Amino acid sequence: MPQQDPHAPDATPASLGFRMPAEWEPHAATWLTWPHNLDSWPGKFEPVPDIWVRMVAALAPGERVEILVRDEAMRAAVEARLRATGVPAARRRLHVIPSNDAWMRDHGPTFVVRDHGDGRELGGIDWDYNAWGGKYPPFDLDATIAAQVCALTRARRFAPGIVLEGGSIEVNGRGTLLTTESCLLNRNRNPELSRAQIEGVLRDHLGVRHILWLGDGIVGDDTDGHIDDITRFVDASTVVTVLEDDPRDANHEPLRENAARLRELRDQDGRPLQIVELPMPAPVEFDGQRLPASYANFYIGNRVVLTPVFDDPNDARALATLQGCFPDREVVGIAAVDMVLGLGAFHCVTQQQPASMNRW
């Protein structure tokens, strides 16, 4: 079978052999954008940068951490904080790239890789970005970040021309992708595209061949239901999914319906998924607003799994459940009550760069 011409204008990542690795596959680095938008944490910003420091300190022993900062003054301030914390200079790099906010999962590139005889090549998918359906202007700076990170990493850049955020997709690295109807089919993203057309873009750009759809996300999630707050792959055939035990809670029914769907779904080889249940914390609120607190918004590093905890009785149960899923990594609980006021947690602010032959 003839190979796709890599220089052809219609060559897609999948046709060239690129795929999106699972998050637990080896990383070269984790990317972060340092927080600075006071409006994202109204009246509660002061403790937020300390959470980023804890993330960097936990990740650095296992991988390099690449951090975007707004300007040179922020670079100096962040360098000083990390140096005082003892994060080795060789395990962190700071880059001056202005941003509107800190949600790297959504404004950064989705990295893909291509394995070949000479090693592995890195690619980056530069999705269009509109701040979750135009909810939080301005987002002009954030919309340029993926292309800049691709340039920095020497990743081959692909631009599908559709709106999509990294938190809305979850892959097992073997050809299956999980997502939600409430987000990807929302009219505030790509109203001109059908479900079949969106699936085609995902297959063409992420190298997946099997797409699974869940329904709604959790209450308080301003992303219209990102998958990373509800259901995550923890290995090629196993997912963890959050369930709310209280039938009076607004999350009870939609999460029950998602779990019922999962029991009927199959992976790329036609096998049922193994399902592990995660609890939900008690409702976390601020000024009467329900926040999207979820243990599913964890991030899988090379050596650690960064997990949000909420000073809740279910914290220990969630940590123990995830530790059972990741026996080769340390599950690290980090207090996230202040962080989730910004309507996201650790998966939302991280982006994994897979190990590759790109010497950067």
- Domain borders along the chain are 27-353
Using an 8 Å Cβ cutoff, are 322 and 331 in contact?
yes
DSSP 8-state class, residue 272: B
Question: How much is the pLDDT for 42?
Answer: 93
- Strand runs labelled E in the chain: 27-33, 64-69, 92-96, 110-116, 119-125, 156-158, 170-171, 176-180, 210-214, 231-235, 238-243, 274-279, 285-286, 289-290, 299-300, 304-309, 330-335, 351-354
Query: Distance of CA 263 to CAs 172, 219, 239, 252, 269, Å?
Result: 17, 22, 11, 17, 15
Confidence of residue 108 (pLDDT cuts 50, 70, 90): very high
Question: How much is the pLDDT for 1?
Answer: 37
Question: How much is the pLDDT for 359?
Answer: 60
210-214/231-235 β-pairing = unpaired
Give which of 183, 177, 169, 166 is closest to 273, Cα–Cα.
177
Query: Distance of CA 297 to CAs 23, 148, 181, 262, Å?
Result: 13, 26, 19, 18
Whole-prediction pTM value?
0.96
Query: pLDDT tens for residues 17-44?
Result: 999 999 999 999 999 999 999 999 999 9
Query: pLDDT tens for residues 311-340?
Result: 999 999 999 999 999 999 999 999 999 999
Q: Chain-wide mean pLDDT for the chain?
A: 95
- Strand runs labelled E in 181-268: 210-214, 231-235, 238-243
Give which of 141, 151, 48, 52 is closest to 92, Cα–Cα.
52
Burial class (CB in 10 A: 0-12, 13-18, 19+), 270: exposed
Q: What is the C-alpha separation between 292 and 227, in angstroms, rounded? A: 12
Q: Does domain 27-353 have CATH number 3.75.10.10?
A: yes
Backbone angles phi, psi at 6, to 5 degrees: -65, -15
Query: pLDDT tens for residues 59-87?
Result: 999 999 999 999 999 999 999 999 999 99
Mean pLDDT over 265-274 rounds to: 98
Residue 2 has pLDDT above 50, yes or no: no
Q: Could you identify the residue written with the tokens 């790509």? A: 190
Query: Distance of CA 324 to CAs 170, 298, 358, Å?
Result: 20, 14, 33
348 is catalytic: yes
Mean pLDDT over 149-157 rounds to: 97
As given in the structure block, the two tokens for residue 282 are 């008690």
